[in-house]
Structure 1
Amino acid sequence: MALLEVRDLDVRFALRQGEVRALRNINFTLDRGERLGLVGESGAGKSVAAFSLLNLIAKPGYIAGGSIRFDGQELIGLGERRLRRIRGNRVSMIFQDPMMTLNPVLTIGEQMVECLKAHRRIASREARAIALHKLQQVQIPSPETRLDQYPHELSGGMRQRVIIAIALLLDPDIIIADEPTTALDVTIQAEIMTLLLELCEKHNVGLILITHDLGVVSQVTQRMLVMYAGRVIEAGPTREIINDPQHPYTQGLMNALPQMATPGSHLNQIRGSMPPLSQLPSGCAFHPRCDFVTRADGSERPACSRQVPDFVASGNCRVACHMVAEMLAQEAATEEDRP
């Protein structure tokens, strides 16, 4: 049985102008120690999916349907007291901006001790010793000194290491990292991701990494989900998707990487922009931006603009695309015709 199992997750926001579906039929699993990446443009629904796992969706958002099972226990509908035993304890979260996460008027040590005492009956001296050990694990220099410093006295990279140390305080089974290196420069980003990977492997901690950086995903995760307009459109082993993306949107993301452009030329980009969730087009949400709506012979795929594509199996991956489904059907027909 998977440690985390999400089935048909549906999240909506009740707005004055009408209800908006932020997530549609999200399905995935996470085994103990496994590393999963959630990839997509801003607004694709990555962070909403992560917040939903711990029921951190703020009103007017709410979980409209589906199932989230952690270690066999259903989390949707679970009372706040029972959910608190899991949130921050067995499932920890690393947010984008450490300065928004850390309390500016408390020292690092006070915040870490407070976190431990919120979940365990523990003496202050013992809690401080655990906090010191966790700072040592994330390779912060002079950890004894850092415990008595305030967040503003630390660099951005140091603050993010502190956040990771806090996430590890209670020895969680899963860490959800929401764009953990957004505000850091490239060299510090690499250090933080290497550290996070080493800690997860050493302690057999599952990782859900939310990012738009395909380079980071390829180095850190084992499986990935590509999201677009609140829906998963491609899922499978990271190496297979990176080496041979099937969905046109995934192909566009890969081609947009700087190293994919010819030196001296403009960077590749996907034309247009993601539609607002309140104004999704009919059929495949990506079809207004897709270069493959029209076939090579000039004819159009009417299903692209009329019907939401179902998932089809392509190798070890699942892809929601009418073009891929059509190609697979043609290949199957060709195989049947062979003597």
Structure 2
Amino acid sequence: MSLLEVSDLDVRFALRQGEVRALRNVSFSLDRGERLGIVGESGAGKSVAAFSLLNLIASPGFIAGGSIRFDGQELTGLSDRALRKVRGNRISMIFQDPMMTLNPVLSIGEQMIECLKAHRRISHREARAIALHKLQQVQIPSPETRLDQYPHELSGGMRQRIIIAIALLLDPDIIIADEPTTALDVTIQAEIMALLLELCEKHNVGLILITHDLGVVSQVTQRMLVMYAGRVIEQGPTREIINDPQHPYTQGLMNALPQMATPGERLNQIPGSMPSLSNLPSGCAFHPRCGFVNDANGQPRRACLEQVPDFVDSGNCRVACHMVAEMLEEEQRLAKEETS
């Protein structure tokens, strides 16, 4: 059994004009010590999926259906008091902007000690010793001095290391990192991701990395999910998806990387934009932007326009695409003809 199992997760927001489904039948799992990437454009549902795991969705959002099982325990429906034993304790989260996460009027040490004492019965002295050790683990220079400093006195990269140290305070089983390097420059991004990877491997901590950066995903994660308009549309081993993307949307993301463009010419891009979740196209949500919506005869596939695609197995990956399903059926038909 996997450490984390998410099945058919359905998240909605109750708005005046009606309910909007932010996540539709999202399913994935995470083993102990495994690293999983979740990628997609802004609005795909990546952060909502992450926040749902700890029921951190702000009102009017709510989990409408599905299951989230952590270490055999069902998390959906748990009271806030019961969830406190999981949040920050066994599952920690690293948010995008450390300045929005850290309290500006408390010193780093006060915040770390407060977090420890909220979950463990330990003395102030013991808590401070643990906080100091965690700062040393994340390679903070002069950690004794940093404990007594305030967030505004630290650089962006230093603040992000502090956030990672806080996430590791209670020795969690899983860390959820929601675009942890967005506000940092490229060199600091690489340092932070290398540090996070090293710590996860050293302590056998599972990692869920939410990002739009396929380069980071390819270097850090072992498996990945590609999301579009609130659904998972492709999932499987990271290396296989990066080397041979099956879904047209994943192919578009790969082709949009700067290194895929011809020097001196415009960068490749996926035409159009992510649809509004309150007004999704019929059938496959990606079909208005898809370059493969037409069949071999140049006619639009009715299935693409009318039916939400089911998952099909392609190698070690699962893909929700009518075109891929047709190609696999054709391959199977030809294989049968050759053997008959």
TM-score (norm: length of structure 2): 0.99
Residues in 2 aligned to 1:312 and 1:90: alpha-carbon distance in whole angstroms: 34
91-100 or 73-82, which moves further after superposition? 73-82
Corresponding position of 1:322: 322
In the aligned structure 2, how far is the partner of 1:281 from the partner of 1:299? 18
User: Residues 4-19 of structure 1: matches in 2 within 5 Å?
Assistant: 4-19=4-19
Q: Which runs of 5+ in 2 are unaligned?
A: none
Counterpart of 1:333 in structure 2 is 333
Matches of 1:71 and 1:213, distance apart in 2 = 29
Distance in 1, Cα, partners of 2:51 & 2:309: 26
- SS of 2:33 mapped into structure 1: coil
1:282 corresponds in structure 2 to 282
Question: Residues 282-311 of structure 1: CA distance to partner in whole angstroms, max 9, x if unpaired?
Answer: 000000000000124312211101000000
Q: Distance in 1 between matches of 2:114 and 2:334?
A: 65
Whole-angstrom CA distance in 2 between matches of 1:26 and 1:188: 33
Distance in structure 1 (CA, Å) of the matches to 2:123 and 2:232:
45
1:41-68 deviation line (CA, Å, top 9, x unaligned):
0000000000000010111000000000
In structure 2, C-alpha distance between the alignment counterparts of 1:115 and 1:156, rounded to whole Å:
21
Instruction: Provide the rounded CA distance (Å) in 1 between the counterparts of 2:298 and 2:13.
Output: 40
Q: Tell me, what secondary structure is at the counterpart of 1:207? A: strand
In 2: Cα distance, 1:136 partner to 1:216 partner: 25
User: Which aligned runs of 4 or more in structure 1 are off by greater than 4 angstroms?
Assistant: none
Q: Which stretch shifts more, 289-298 or 244-253?
A: 289-298
- The 5-angstrom pairing of residues 78-227 of structure 1 reads 78-227=78-227
Cα separation, 1, equivalents of 2:3 and 2:262: 43
RMSD of aligned residue pairs (Cα, Å): 0.5
More deviation, 287-296/151-160: 287-296
SS in 1 for 2:270: coil
Q: Aligned letter for 2:326?
A: E
Segments of 5+ residues of structure 1 without an aligned counterpart are none
Q: CA deviation at 1:79?
A: 1.4
In structure 1, distance between residues paired with 2:300 and 2:24: 26
Partner of 2:238: 238
Within 1, Cα distance between the matches of 2:22 and 2:32? 28
**Cα distance in structure 2, aligned partners of 1:61 and 1:108:** 32
Q: What CA distance in whole angstroms lies between the structure 2 residues aligned with 1:300 and 1:279?
A: 21
Alignment TM-score, normalising by the size of structure 1: 0.99
Cα distance in 1 for partners of 2:272, 2:298 equals 22
Matches of 2:64 and 2:300 in 1, distance apart?
35
Letter of the 1:244 partner, please give it: D
Partner-residue secondary structure (3-state), 2:278: helix
Amino acid at match of 1:50: A
Return the alpha-carbon distance in structure 2 between the equivalents of residues 97 and 8 of structure 1. 30
